[in-house]
Structure 1
Amino acid sequence: MSLVIAGERSGVGKTTVTLALLAALRRRGLQVQSFKVGPDYIDPMFHQAVTGRPCRNLDPILTSPRYVQTCFHTHTQTADYALIEGVMGLFDGVEIPGRCQKSKVKSQKSKSSAMAAAYASTAHIAQLLNLPVLLVLDCRHLSGSIAAIVDGYQQFDPDVQIAGVVLNRVGSDRHRQLLTQALDYLQARQGNAPPVLGVIHRQAELTIPDRHLGLVPTAELDDLPRFFDRLADLAEQCFDWDVLLPLFKVNTDGSEGGFDNPGVDTPSLMVQPAPTLADGSFFYPGVRLVAIAVAYDRAFSFYYADNLDLLRQLGADLCFWSPLQDATLPANIQGLYFGGGFPEMFAPALEHNQAVRRAVQAAIRAGMPTYAECGGLMYLAERLIDFEQRAWEMVGVLPCTVAMGDRLVLGYRQATALHPTTLIATGETVWGHEFHRSAIIQEESMGARAANTGAQPLPIAYPLWQTQSLNPDAKPQREGWYGDRLLATYLHLHWGQYPHLAQRFVQQCAAY
């Protein structure tokens, strides 16, 4: 089996609870596979820092219900224990998007089900995988009312099995007594109240700093091993391990997940490892091993583990490098991949590294295939204006300026390609996710840019996509830059649903 760590709402401490459980399991020398519901990048970084294994995202909008099931099954095969961290509150999801209308889960047969408006919620994932839930509750401002909350969550959708609750941020022993008395009353009245499997008193010193896009990533934090050690101590003291440990144990009989009625299929669920040739290189339909430089440092760290695996399985040798610190690009590469991250936090250092900015610009001008998402798009722009309104020079291959602002652009997008590129055909649609506080505030014409810089303008055009949010009343937006071998977009894509895009990119790099 496995267990889904859910919150009754956002901010209740489910990430801290998840990390504490992971740290305690790893301290016991166990192989633990973690998962994160939704399009999150930063929480999975913390998971991986604890477990030593890449955390996998489970998102049926960016991928599909079938992919979620297959991903979970595939990556639990080599683990002793597994757990899933949820997103937001247990039933917080979205209205089912058009492409997912055929997807159904068991709870939709229930008269009391509200799952039609909770697609991609933690509860939805729990049902897709047929797994129980451990519900984390923030008890700072509660006593007897805890019973009504727990009863409501348990009754709201009977097909969601709540295996137990964690009482978090308990103020004192007396506070704990009031909470447990209320739950004892619920058990006496209903006869089916979930057991208390953890009680955590307020731990002001065990917090992770955050900023404008969520938690501060692991690469920017000092002394993480000591922090995880303290979380493991906390978990050993505060949880009922006699009950929890069997729930975390992965089945070995192939029945993990109970995948009935899986819903929408993916074009290719999980690309298999590429065969090895006699010379030790890899081969995938027409592609030998190619070297792709992946920007990875404190400024660029937003990558789905499945995307990187897919590139490797398609024959790519991933060369990780730092636009912040390296003086040049890796040698003998055939492609560039820039993920998202926080270039705005490190703009002075990115500008200062002129040698590598020139190297990136020269490579793209020479036609090297390049894929950039969000922070990567910002880095390829002419300038980046930070929160203090200071302007910093970036690579300069996209004729635009991006500026940080107060407005958070957040949500899923269905994107339709307006023009043909080597990666995507006109009219082809994908589902992606936007999460940024920057915006393009200036777009220069190619002719004006050439006149200002004296450089021959690159054949780059805007926009690539027409995007539509899940709000049917919202106006479609246009977004994304494209060229013969360049694609730069604010959209974060999970290639598990679109392996052909990754395959085209690898093939394009191999042909370079």
Structure 2
Amino acid sequence: MAVIIAGDRSGVGKTTVTLALLAALRQWGTVQSFKVGPDYIDPMFHTQVTGRSCRNLDPVLTSESYVERCFRQHRQTADFGLVEGVMGLFDGAGSSDYASTAHIARLLDLPILLVLDCSRMARSIAALVHGFRSFDPRLKFAGVVLNRVGSDRHLELLQAALEPINLPILGVLRRQAEITIPDRHLGLVPTEELPQMQELIDRLAVLGKESFDWGKLLPLMKGDRSQSLLAPVLLGDPAPNRPLNPPYVGNLEGQIPRIGVARDRAFSFYYADNLDLLERLGAELVYWSPLTDELPAEVNGLYFGGGFPEMFAAELQANAIGRAAVRSTIVAGMPTYAECGGLMYLSQSIMDFEGRSWEMAGILPTVAQMGKRLTLGYRQAAALQNSPFMQEKAIVWGHEFHRSTLTQLPKTPLYQIRGYDATSPATTEGWHMHQAHASYVHLHWGDRAWMPHNFLQACLRFGKVQPGTF
């Protein structure tokens, strides 16, 4: 079993409550965490606290069946399970609650722990809880967590108001400033940039032990590891119209492609399932830092995830040897997959928020310019041409989340893009140059194993064509 942490809206403290619960649970055993939606940063914090990769549950980027398989496969390997929701409980991808916390709670049959910001209310809390509890009778509520409670008297008023609702108070967190997680233009600052991370985890553990009714919570989150929730399942099974015959390594002719994965403070946005899938398909992942390292030797392909290259542009520019190696290798034809921050790194330069220009790898004839406008939302991407990752006319769902724009757009774009609302106008986006597939759209490969499989096949072909040159 597991519980799902929900809020009546964004900003009520879901992440702080989740991290405090996770940190405290570590004293009793292993904990598997999950995050609803496409977010990268919150799962980084989960992973730092639990020591296990957090898994994203997003039916738009994957599918409902994949969400169920992912949850059950990973949940059964830990003593406790916890899911952090997204936005408000019923806020989904469009006008319905699809991909919302409520949707995932129904899909996985999980009890909801509703987090409430009590800082500006007392008796009105009862009306709020009553409304959320009765809005969808299919949902199960475990209880509420009262966050930002001001005083003992404030707590008494809240308790008195909620008593007739007959929904237990399972946690109380007081207003306090000693636990703060810094943020910036795309949300929380990633864990790799927080030298005080262990101190933060220790404080969260203390907060968690003192703030929750563990006698009622532990049974809700504890599972029986001696029994599998499902028979073993294979995550990342290919789409039905793209059959592959496991073991996947056989489809790669028994060879082991080596993929250089850019991973450091500038490039940290990776779905754990994507990296796992590459390895299950037979790849060896070689992690390296475009901030400080030369290009790793003997790799067949490159993978640049998203992140914050704009925050480390000076360091990326200073690594001239690394940039030159990336440029010459991609020009020579090495298959490369780059998302968002990776796209920015492959551009000619990045212009930061202060208007300063920093040289990048110089593959794409465009400049990534930072601005105030946030581009955010799910995207349906239809491939307009072949690339090492997908064939023309393939359609996938992805997600955009960035504050940069490109000064020049490709003459032959990679994708035709539509928003989640089917009535929104179509645009074009993405680059395919040499053998580089670069786009602002983040993809969760999930149950579309044909995408990384195509990529690995292209990587092996490159290796055969130019042996010993990488």
TM over 0.5: yes
Q: How many residues align?
A: 455
Structure 2 residue 128 is matched with structure 1 residue 149: yes
* Partner Cα separation in structure 2 for residue 272 and residue 227 of structure 1: 46
Counterpart contact for 1:284–1:315, Cα < 8 Å: no
Alignment equivalent of 1:323, drawn from 283, 290, 315? 290
48 and 232 in structure 1: CA distance in 2 versus 1, 3 angstrom threshold: same
Q: CA deviation at 1:325?
A: 1.3
Q: 1:130-209 to 2 correspondence within 5 Å?
A: 130-187=109-166, 194-209=167-182
What residue number does 2:8 align with?
A: 8
What residue number does 2:384 align with?
A: 418
* Partner Cα separation in structure 2 for residue 217 and residue 355 of structure 1: 26
Counterpart contact for 1:33–1:76, Cα < 8 Å: yes
* Partner Cα separation in structure 2 for residue 336 and residue 233 of structure 1: 42
Amino acid of the residue matched to residue 280 of structure 2?
Q
What residue number does 2:208 align with?
A: 235
Counterpart contact for 2:72–2:229, Cα < 8 Å: yes
* Partner Cα separation in structure 2 for residue 154 and residue 253 of structure 1: 34
Counterpart contact for 2:261–2:285, Cα < 8 Å: yes
What residue number does 2:465 align with?
A: none
Q: 1:89-488 to 2 correspondence within 5 Å?
A: 89-95=88-94, 117-187=96-166, 194-252=167-225, 256=229, 267=240, 283-326=250-293, 328-442=294-408, 462-488=412-438
Counterpart contact for 2:349–2:362, Cα < 8 Å: yes
RMSD: 2.0
Q: CA deviation at 1:421?
A: 2.4
Q: CA deviation at 1:441?
A: 1.3
367 and 408 in structure 1: CA distance in 2 versus 1, 3 angstrom threshold: same
Structure 2 residue 57 is matched with structure 1 residue 77: no
Counterpart contact for 1:92–1:122, Cα < 8 Å: yes
73 and 386 in structure 1: CA distance in 2 versus 1, 3 angstrom threshold: same
Amino acid of the residue matched to residue 282 of structure 2?
G
273 and 22 in structure 1: CA distance in 2 versus 1, 3 angstrom threshold: farther
Structure 2 residue 461 is matched with structure 1 residue 511: yes
**Residues 314-323 or 116-125, more deviating:** 116-125
* Partner Cα separation in structure 2 for residue 230 and residue 406 of structure 1: 34
SS at match of 1:125: helix
Q: CA deviation at 1:462?
A: 3.4
Q: CA deviation at 1:185?
A: 3.2
Deviation digits for residues 363-400 of structure 1, max 9, x if unmatched? Answer: 10111110000000000000110000111111001111
Q: CA deviation at 1:250?
A: 2.1
Counterpart contact for 2:372–2:403, Cα < 8 Å: yes
TM-score by length of 1: 0.86
490 and 56 in structure 1: CA distance in 2 versus 1, 3 angstrom threshold: same
Counterpart contact for 1:66–1:266, Cα < 8 Å: no
Q: Which runs of 5+ in 2 are unaligned?
A: 231-237, 463-470
* Partner Cα separation in structure 2 for residue 3 and residue 247 of structure 1: 6
Deviation digits for residues 156-208 of structure 1, max 9, x if unmatched? Answer: 00111111000000000100000000001333xxxxxx100000001212110
* Partner Cα separation in structure 2 for residue 164 and residue 343 of structure 1: 41
Q: CA deviation at 1:134?
A: 0.4
Counterpart contact for 1:272–1:313, Cα < 8 Å: no
Q: CA deviation at 1:18?
A: 0.4
* Partner Cα separation in structure 2 for residue 46 and residue 216 of structure 1: 10
What residue number does 1:98 align with?
A: none
52 and 216 in structure 1: CA distance in 2 versus 1, 3 angstrom threshold: same
* Partner Cα separation in structure 2 for residue 302 and residue 215 of structure 1: 13
* Partner Cα separation in structure 2 for residue 266 and residue 129 of structure 1: 22
Q: CA deviation at 1:472?
A: 3.7
SS at match of 1:419: coil
Q: CA deviation at 1:283?
A: 4.9
What residue number does 1:491 align with?
A: 441
* Partner Cα separation in structure 2 for residue 440 and residue 238 of structure 1: 47
* Partner Cα separation in structure 2 for residue 131 and residue 443 of structure 1: 45
Counterpart contact for 2:81–2:222, Cα < 8 Å: yes
7 and 177 in structure 1: CA distance in 2 versus 1, 3 angstrom threshold: same
What residue number does 1:450 align with?
A: none
**Residues 208-217 or 219-228, more deviating:** 219-228
Amino acid of the residue matched to residue 315 of structure 2?
A
Q: Which runs of 5+ in 1 are unaligned?
A: 96-115, 188-193, 258-264, 276-281, 445-460
Q: Which runs of 4+ in 1 moved over 6 A?
A: none
Deviation digits for residues 136-173 of structure 1, max 9, x if unmatched? Answer: 00000010000000000000001111110000000001
TM-score by length of 2: 0.93
Q: Alignment identity in percent?
A: 58
Counterpart contact for 2:252–2:457, Cα < 8 Å: no
SS at match of 2:127: helix
Q: CA deviation at 1:237?
A: 0.8
Counterpart contact for 1:329–1:356, Cα < 8 Å: yes
Counterpart contact for 1:62–1:497, Cα < 8 Å: no
Counterpart contact for 1:283–1:289, Cα < 8 Å: no
SS at match of 2:371: strand
Counterpart contact for 2:125–2:161, Cα < 8 Å: yes
Counterpart contact for 2:331–2:434, Cα < 8 Å: no
Deviation digits for residues 258-282 of structure 1, max 9, x if unmatched? Answer: xxxxxxx95499x99958xxxxxx6
392 and 16 in structure 1: CA distance in 2 versus 1, 3 angstrom threshold: same
Amino acid of the residue matched to residue 58 of structure 1?
L
What residue number does 2:468 align with?
A: none
* Partner Cα separation in structure 1 for residue 348 and residue 443 of structure 2: 24
* Partner Cα separation in structure 2 for residue 20 and residue 241 of structure 1: 12
Q: CA deviation at 1:253?
A: 7.0
Structure 2 residue 60 is matched with structure 1 residue 61: yes
Deviation digits for residues 48-106 of structure 1, max 9, x if unmatched? Answer: 001111000000000000000000011112111111000001110033xxxxxxxxxxx
Counterpart contact for 2:20–2:208, Cα < 8 Å: yes
What residue number does 1:87 align with?
A: 86
136 and 256 in structure 1: CA distance in 2 versus 1, 3 angstrom threshold: farther
Deviation digits for residues 351-370 of structure 1, max 9, x if unmatched? Answer: 11101000100110111110
* Partner Cα separation in structure 2 for residue 154 and residue 440 of structure 1: 45
